[in-house]
Every structure is written in C-alpha cells, then in structure tokens.
C-alpha cells in the first residue's frame, strides 16, 4: 500500500519569507501521480499541481515551485516571498496511474501560518 | 463553468439516524469520488462511481454506501450514525476513470456533526 508522509505538522513564518513544505511517499508502483492541494478554512481542496512519475522536471508557477526527486521519493513544495493569503493547510497526495483501488492517498497535511 | 456542488453545506444529526449527502460533478465529468476528512484519520477514500457503478471502495464499514445517477450526480448515505462519523465529507469529480490520470476537482464539502 502507498504511504504519504508530511512530517511538518505546522509551520509559521513571517510574510515575505520563503517556506518549503516537505512530502515523502512510499510505493511499489512504477507509474503514478503526485498532487499538492491547498485547503483554506472554507474546506474546499484547491488543486495546485499534478506530477507524473516519469516527469522529474521541477516546475515553477509564479511564487510556487515544486521539486520532484524520484531517488529520494520526495515531492517538496516551496513558496517564495510568502503572503498572508498563503495561510492554509497543504496536502500532498499520491495516486496510482491506471486507477488504483485506493483512490488518492493523502498525507496528514501541513498547516502553514503566514504572519503579517 | 460551475464547479463541484455539494449539498447541504452543514448538517447536524443524532446518533442512530441516517444521512444522505449529495454531489453534482462538473458538467461533462462522469466520475465521482468521495472522501472523509477527520482530525484523527485525515483524508480517507470512501468510494468512486462511474456510469452508475461503484468502481472502488475504501476501507469503511457497510454503513457507508453511495450511488450515482444517470446524470452523474452522486449521493452517499451513512446509516446508523455514530459520533465518529462526524467529519467533512468531500466529493471530487473527474472526467473519466482512471480518475488519477485525468485529475480531480473537489467540492467545498459537507460538514456532518453527529450528536
């Protein structure tokens, strides 16, 4: 079975600081997808990124960037120049390509607090 | 384009009762998945429906059931409610199975409180 670990339960930084959220996964699957979602207090899971296991290129989207390293089974997420609006719970998730029976496997989430 | 719509937004039920939650996927999406989110267990997969058929089910007791209608709308039902069923129930729609390959869009959830 797959497992996703987000070791950081809560991170608090001051606005404009850079912050990295860690995600480590375990799987025996060779083809899979990794996701990051943001959950604001309203509860909705907001999609941030989906990465295929064959694509190890880092990705940057504005202030957000993702570092996928298959060798260490990690998919870390960095927010540059953080803003108060970035405060939320962030989830990393794993999904087996082709439709595994377990749906998405989520980490426990990291509560990010950006202080003004 | 309307997003995933879940109703009701909030619900309070008494132990032993049953409850039905509704999810309307994004137009054109035919796959619907359900997840339970609790402080203790986090986000857990309940089940996935496509073409009115349950494709997969997570590790939940038989009290949890669901169905999907011909218009892709889905309902989930929890019978004989227990206090531990208090949770945020999230619905996710996808274009088609395998949903992971197409990606998911989540709704805002239904927050169920069992008293």
* DSSP per-residue codes, A33-58: EEEEEEE-TT-PPEEEEEEETT----
- B58 → chain A, closest CA residue: A102
Banded pLDDT at A103 (limits 50, 70, 90)? confident
pLDDT of residue A16: 97
**Could you tell me how many residues make up chain A?**
116
pLDDT of residue A47: 94
Q: A87, A81, A91: which is closest to A12 by C-alpha?
A: A87
For chain B, give the mean pLDDT: 94
Q: Which residues contact A104 (CB under 8 A, 6 or more apart)?
A: A35, A93, A94, A95, B33, B35, B43, B45, B100, B104
Q: Is the pLDDT of residue B23 over 90?
A: yes
Å between B79 CA and nearest CA of chain A = 22
Contacting residues of A for B48, CB less than 8 Å apart:
103
Average pLDDT, stretch B67-96? 96
In angstroms, what CA-CA distances link B17 with A63, A112, B14?
Answer: 47, 37, 6
pLDDT of residue B99: 81
The residue with greater pLDDT, B103 or B59, is B59
Contacting residues of A for B36, CB less than 8 Å apart:
none
User: Considering CB atoms only, which of A33, A43, A46 is closest to B100?
Assistant: A33
**Could you tell me how many residues make up chain B?**
115
pLDDT of residue B98: 76
Banded pLDDT at A93 (limits 50, 70, 90)? very high
Q: Is the pLDDT of residue A99 over 70?
A: no
The residue with greater pLDDT, A87 or B97, is A87
Average pLDDT, stretch B106-110? 95
Which of A1, A5, A6, A43 has the highest number of chain B CBs within 10 A, making it the mutation to test binding with B?
Answer: A43
Least confidently predicted of A77-81, B59-63, B79-83, B94-98: B94-98
pLDDT of residue A5: 98
Determine which helix (DSSP H) or strand (DSSP E) holds B100, and give its type and residue range: helix B99-102
pLDDT digits (tens, 9 = 90+) for A40-85: 988 999 999 999 999 888 889 999 999 999 999 999 999 999 999 9
- Considering chain A, what percentage of its residues have pLDDT values greater than 70? 97
pLDDT of residue A1: 80
């Amino acid at each position: 079975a797959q497992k996703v670990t987000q070791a950081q339960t809560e991170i608090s930084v001051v606005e404009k600081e850079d912050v990295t959220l860690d995600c480590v996964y375990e799987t025996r699957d060779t083809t899979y997808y990794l996701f990051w979602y943001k959950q604001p207090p309203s509860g909705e899971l907001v999609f941030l990124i989906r990465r295929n296991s064959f694509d190890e290129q880092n990705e940057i989207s504005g202030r957000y960037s993702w570092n996928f390293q298959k060798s260490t089974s990690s998919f870390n997420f960095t927010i540059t120049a953080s803003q108060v609006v970035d405060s939320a719970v962030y989830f990393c998730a794993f999904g087996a390509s082709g439709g595994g029976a377990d749906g998405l496997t989520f980490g426990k989430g990291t509560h990010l607090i950006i202080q003004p | 384009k309307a997003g995933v719509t879940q109703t009701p937004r909030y619900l309070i039920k008494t132990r032993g009762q049953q409850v039905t939650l509704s999810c309307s996927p994004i137009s054109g999406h035919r796959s619907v998945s359900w997840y339970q989110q609790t402080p203790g267990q986090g986000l857990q997969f309940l089940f996935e429906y496509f073409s009115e058929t349950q494709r997969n089910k997570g590790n939940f007791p038989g009290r949890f059931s669901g169905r999907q209608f011909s218009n892709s709308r889905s309902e989930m039902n929890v019978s004989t409610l227990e206090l531990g069923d208090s949770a945020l129930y999230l619905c996710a729609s996808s274009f088609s199975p395998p949903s992971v390959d197409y990606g998911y869009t989540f709704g805002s959830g239904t927050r169920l409180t069992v008293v």
